[in-house]
C-alpha cells in the first residue's frame, strides 16, 4: 500500500511538472508589418503624435529609412517585403513598359496588378509559407498576385473605401484564430497620410490632422494587440516621404517640348521621372543627345549609366533612357496649351532621388518582445527590413536578396 501511495504521489508530481513545463513553454513570435503610406521621417518631430512618441520610446527607431529609387509607392512597398531593390525585383515604378508583353503596367490596371508575372523575388508572406508558417496581408503591394505560385493564406483585394478600423478589426480576428490556423506574419496598409500629403502638402494643417488620425489608429492597434497577450512584434514603416511643391513659371516641364510631334517614342510616367524606351541603339543615342541638350532642372541618363546607389541599371522594364527631375520640378504630359494645372499650391510630390532629397525619407519604428528597447539607429535603406523580419520569425532568407541582416542586428533581441 505504501509503495502504491508513493508511486501515485510520484506520478502526480510528474504530471504537475509536465503541465507546468507545457504552460510555461515559450510562444513563437509574430510580426505585424504596418505601412503608413507617405509618412515622412520628420512628421513625428513636427506634429508630436503621442502614440507614435510612446511607441518609439518602447522600441527601436531609425532617424530615417531611405527609400529605394524611385521613391514611389509600388516599388518601395514591394522592396520592403522582398528585400530587393526595384531594379532587381522588377516592379521598377508605379508605371512602366514591359516589352515582352507589349503592355504598360499601371497601378490602375487591376488585371496587371494581380498578375504574378510582374513580381520577382520572394515576398515575406511566401517566405513564411514555404517554411511552414501561416501568413496574411491586408492591402500590400503584391499580395493580390500568386507570387511564386501562391497567395498569402489570408488576404484582401485592395479597396480604398474599406474603413481603417475595419482593417484593424480583421487583423485582430486573424490573430484570434486557433494557433494552427493563426498567421505568424501579417502586413497591413493605410493610405490616409499619403493622400492628404499629396492634396495639401507636407506642412499643412490638414496634414497635421491626418497624422494625428494615423496616430489614433496606431494607438488602437497597440491596445488591441496588447489585449491578445501574444508575443507580437509590431514594425511601422512607410514607403517614402513627401516634398512640398509650389507652382512657379518653371515648375512644369511639358513632354511635348522635349519630343518632336512626329517622334514615335515609347515613354512611360510623368512627375519626377520619365522612362524612354527605344530598342535601336543609333536612334537611342540621337534621342539622348537631343534630350541632354534640353536639360532644364532635369538630367538625362542612359540606363547603364545611372548612379550605382540606385541599383537601376539592368532590368529591361527600366527605360533605355531616364529623365530625372531635380526636387521641386515636375514633368507633365502634353503642353501648356493642352494641359490645365489642377493643383492648388502648395501640394505634395514624391519620386525624387532619395539620396539627394531628404524629404523623401521614410519611417521605421519597431517594438515587441524581439525588439531592442530605447534604441535609435542611423538612416538605413529599406531593403534591410526583410532580413530583420525573417530573423524574428526564424526564417532562412533567399541568397539573392539585397538586404543585409547585420544592418539591424542591434535591434534584434533573442
Residue 263, pLDDT score: 66
- Reported pTM: 0.93
> Per-residue pLDDT for 142 more than 60?
yes
Within this chain, do residues 55 and 116 fall inside the same structural domain, yes or no? Answer: yes
The pLDDT of residue 262 is 60
Quote the pLDDT of residue 409: 98
Q: Give the C-alpha distances (Å, rounded to integers) separating 160 from 168, 242, 368.
A: 14, 20, 29
Q: Bin 93: left if φ > 0, else alpha if -120 < ψ < 50, else beta.
A: beta
* End position of a domain, from candidates 287, 314, 342: 342
- Beta strand pairing call for 232-237 and 364-367: antiparallel
- Residue 15 has a pLDDT of 44
Q: What percentage of the chain exceeds 90 in pLDDT? A: 86
286 shares its domain with 146: no
Cell numbers standing for residue 86: 526595384
Mean pLDDT of 227-234: 98
Mean pLDDT of the residues in the chain: 93
Give φ, ψ of 332 to 5 degrees. -130, 145
Q: Using the 3D structure, point to which of 342, 368, 389 is the last residue of a domain.
A: 342
Let me know whether 300 and 224 are in one domain: no
Beta bridge partners of 237: 35, 364
CA-to-CA distance for 308 and 407, rounded, in angstroms?
Answer: 19
pLDDT of residue 29: 98
54 with 105, same domain: the answer is: yes
* 3-state helix vs strand vs coil in the chain, percent to 5: 35, 20, 45
383 and 79 in contact (C-beta within 8 Å)?
yes
How far apart are the C-alpha atoms of 208 and 414, rounded to whole Å?
37
Question: Does residue 288 fall inside a structural domain?
Answer: yes
Q: Is residue 347 part of a domain?
A: no
> b or e along 197-232 (b: 16 or more beta carbons within 10 Å of the residue's beta carbon)?
bbebbbebeebbebbebbbebbbbbbeebeeeebeb
Domain end among 342, 373, 396: 342
The mean pLDDT of 17-21, rounded to a whole number, is 41
How confident is the model at residue 94, as a pLDDT?
A: 98
Q: Which whole number is the average pLDDT over 69-83? A: 99
Task: Looking at the structure, tell me whether residues 360 and 238 fall in a common domain.
Answer: yes
**Band (335; pLDDT cuts 50, 70, 90):** confident
pLDDT of res. 397: 98
Residue range of the domain that includes 117? 30-245+355-411
- 269 and 221 assigned to the same domain: no
Report the DSSP beta bridge partners of residue 337. none
The reply to whether 25 falls in a domain is no
Residue 4 forms part of a structural domain: no
| 9 dihedral zone (left: phi>0; alpha: psi -120 to 50; beta) | alpha
Q: For residues 241 and 323, state if they share a domain.
A: no
* pLDDT tier, 98 (very low <50, low <70, confident <90, very high otherwise): very high
Predicted local distance difference test score (pLDDT) of residue 6: 47
Q: Choosing from 60, 73, 237, 300, which is the catalytic residue?
A: 73
Within-domain flag for 134? yes
Q: What is the pLDDT of residues 143-165, one digit of tens each?
A: 999 999 999 999 999 999 999 99
Which CA distances in Å does 365 have to 4, 28, 315, 340, 372? 60, 21, 31, 40, 11
E-strand stretches of 225-379: 232-237, 243-245, 252-254, 266-268, 273-277, 298-302, 321-325, 330-332, 347-349, 364-367, 375-377
Are the C-beta atoms of residues 256 and 308 closer than 8 Å to each other? Answer: no
Is 5 among the domain residues?
Answer: no
Residue 243 has pLDDT above 70, yes or no: yes
- Which grid coordinates are listed for 63? 532617424
pLDDT value for 248: 87
* 185 plus 233 within the same structural domain: yes
Written as nine digits, the cell of 36 is: 503608413
* pLDDT value, residue 16: 40
Question: Per-residue confidence at 265, pLDDT binned at 50, 70, 90?
Answer: confident
- Considering the domain architecture, whether residues 36 and 180 belong to the same structural domain is answered as yes
Q: What is the CATH number of the domain that holds 69?
A: 3.40.720.10
For residues 136 and 274, state if they share a domain.
Answer: no
> pLDDT tens for residues 356-399?
999 999 999 999 999 999 999 999 999 999 999 999 999 999 99
Q: Which residues, at least 6 apart from 14, have a Cβ–Cβ distance to it below 8 Å?
A: none
Task: Please state, in angstroms and rounded to a whole number, the distance separating the CA atoms of residues 75 and 141.
Answer: 8
Over residues 267-286, mean pLDDT: 94
Taking only the tens place, the pLDDT of each residue in 174-212 is 999 999 999 999 999 999 999 999 999 999 999 999 999
pLDDT score at 18: 41
pLDDT at 41 (0 to 100): 99
C-alpha 290/C-alpha 284 separation (Å) is 10
More confident residue, 340 or 248: 248
In a domain, 146, yes or no: yes
In a domain, 1, yes or no: no
User: How do residues 27-57 score in pLDDT, each as one tens digit?
Assistant: 999 999 999 999 999 999 999 999 999 999 9
Q: Kindly state whether residues 154 and 93 are assigned to the same domain.
A: yes
d(CA 368, CA 231): 7
In sequence order, what are the residues at sequence separation of 6 or more whose Cβ sits closer than 8 angstroms to the Cβ of residue 174?
136, 154, 182, 183, 186
Instruction: Look up the CATH number of the domain holding residue 328.
Output: 3.30.1360.180
pLDDT at 1 over 80: no
pLDDT at 11 over 60: no
Residue spans of alpha helices (H) in 273-372: 281-292
Same domain, 384 and 288: no
Cell numbers for 381: 535603406
Q: How confident is the model at residue 261 (pLDDT cuts 50, 70, 90)?
A: low
In angstroms, what CA-CA distances link 53 with 44, 49, 60, 272, 280?
7, 6, 11, 32, 54
**The pLDDT value given to residue 10:** 43
- pLDDT of residue 20 exceeding 60: no
**Count: domains in the chain:** 2
73 is catalytic: yes
Mean pLDDT of the 332-340 span: 74
The verdict on whether omega for the bond into residue 39 sits within 30 degrees of 0, i.e. cis, is no
- For 107-128, how does the pLDDT look when each residue is reduced to its tens digit (9 = 90+)? 999 999 999 999 999 999 999 9
Amino acid at each position: 500500500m505504501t509503495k502504491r501511495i508513493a508511486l501515485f504521489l510520484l506520478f502526480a508530481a510528474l504530471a504537475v511538472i509536465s503541465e507546468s513545463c507545457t504552460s510555461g513553454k515559450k510562444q513563437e513570435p509574430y510580426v505585424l508589418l504596418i505601412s503608413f503610406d507617405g509618412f515622412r521621417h520628420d512628421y513625428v518631430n513636427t506634429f508630436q503624435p503621442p502614440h507614435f512618441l510612446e511607441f518609439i520610446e518602447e522600441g527601436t527607431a531609425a532617424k530615417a529609412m531611405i527609400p529605394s529609387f524611385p521613391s514611389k509607392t509600388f516599388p518601395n512597398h514591394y522592396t520592403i517585403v522582398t528585400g530587393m531593390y526595384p531594379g532587381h525585383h522588377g516592379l521598377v515604378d508605379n508605371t512602366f513598359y514591359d516589352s515582352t508583353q507589349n503592355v504598360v503596367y499601371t497601378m490602375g490596371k487591376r488585371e496587371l496588378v494581380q498578375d504574378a508575372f510582374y513580381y520577382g523575388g520572394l515576398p515575406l508572406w511566401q517566405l513564411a509559407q514555404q517554411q511552414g508558417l501561416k501568413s496574411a496581408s491586408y492591402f500590400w503591394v503584391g499580395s493580390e498576385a500568386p507570387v511564386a505560385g501562391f497567395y498569402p493564406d489570408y488576404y484582401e483585394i485592395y479597396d480604398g473605401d474599406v474603413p481603417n478600423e475595419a482593417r484593424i478589426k480583421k487583423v485582430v480576428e486573424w490573430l484570434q484564430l486557433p494557433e494552427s490556423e493563426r498567421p505568424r506574419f501579417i502586413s497591413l496598409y493605410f493610405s490616409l497620410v499619403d493622400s492628404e500629403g499629396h492634396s495639401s502638402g507636407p506642412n499643412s494643417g490638414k496634414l497635421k490632422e491626418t497624422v494625428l488620425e494615423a496616430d489614433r489608429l496606431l494607438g488602437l492597434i497597440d491596445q488591441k494587440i496588447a489585449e491578445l497577450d501574444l508575443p507580437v512584434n509590431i514594425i511601422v514603416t512607410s514607403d517614402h516621404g513627401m516634398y512640398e511643391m509650389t507652382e512657379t513659371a518653371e515648375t512644369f516641364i511639358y513632354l511635348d517640348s522635349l519630343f518632336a510631334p512626329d517622334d514615335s517614342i515609347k515613354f512611360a510616367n510623368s512627375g519626377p521621372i520619365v522612362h524612354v524606351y527605344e530598342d535601336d541603339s543609333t536612334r537611342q543615342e540621337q534621342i539622348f543627345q537631343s534630350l541632354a541638350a534640353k536639360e532644364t532642372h532635369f538630367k538625362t541618363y542612359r540606363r547603364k549609366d545611372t548612379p550605382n546607389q540606385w541599383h537601376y541599371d539592368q532590368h529591361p522594364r527600366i527605360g533605355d533612357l531616364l529623365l530625372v527631375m531635380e526636387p521641386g520640378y515636375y514633368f507633365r504630359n502634353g503642353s501648356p496649351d493642352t494641359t490645365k494645372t489642377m493643383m492648388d499650391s502648395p501640394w505634395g510630390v514624391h519620386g525624387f532621388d532619395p539620396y539627394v532629397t531628404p524629404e523623401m525619407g521614410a519611417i521605421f519604428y519597431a517594438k515587441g518582445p524581439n525588439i531592442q528597447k530605447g534604441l535609435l539607429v542611423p538612416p538605413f535603406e529599406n531593403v534591410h527590413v526583410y532580413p530583420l523580419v525573417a530573423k524574428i520569425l526564424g526564417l532562412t532568407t533567399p541568397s539573392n536578396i539585397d538586404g543585409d541582416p547585420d544592418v539591424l542586428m542591434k535591434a534584434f533581441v533573442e
